[in-house]
Amino acid sequence: QSDVYSFSMAVWEILTGVVPLRHYPRDAVSYHVVVKGTRPVQATPLGLSDAVWALIEQCWQADYRARPAIHSVVPCLKDALQRTGSVKLTAPKSWPLNLGQ
């Protein structure tokens, strides 16, 4: 299930243009993720639906057994995108996003 965790981190980085947890020293990232449970903040400037954000958070669960299987992620994303319907997403005014970290 580590592939699901990595996938969700890559999705977050693609959507924000920011390296996850970039404000921590490289050798401290593992400590903050594993011991402290630190995760990236929700990228609200993107207008992500709650369903997509919830899926990303599921992929970040500390207990790998609670993470979805990778084969179920694509159908969940498709379903979430269909539920948003014709909502128009626009590119952010600044890139990468300023996430206040």
In order of 8, 24, 75, the CA distances from 16 in angstroms are 12, 17, 22
Domains and CATH numbers, the chain: 2-84 (1.10.510.10)
Positive/negative CA dihedral, 42, 44, 47, 49 = positive
Q: How far apart are CA 36 and CA 32, in angstroms?
A: 5
Token couple for 70: 């990778």
Q: How far apart are CA 34 and CA 5, in angstroms?
A: 12
Mean pLDDT, residues 20-25: 87
Type of residue numbered 20: P
pLDDT per position as a tens digit, 45-94: 565 778 888 888 999 998 999 999 999 998 988 887 787 665 666 666 77
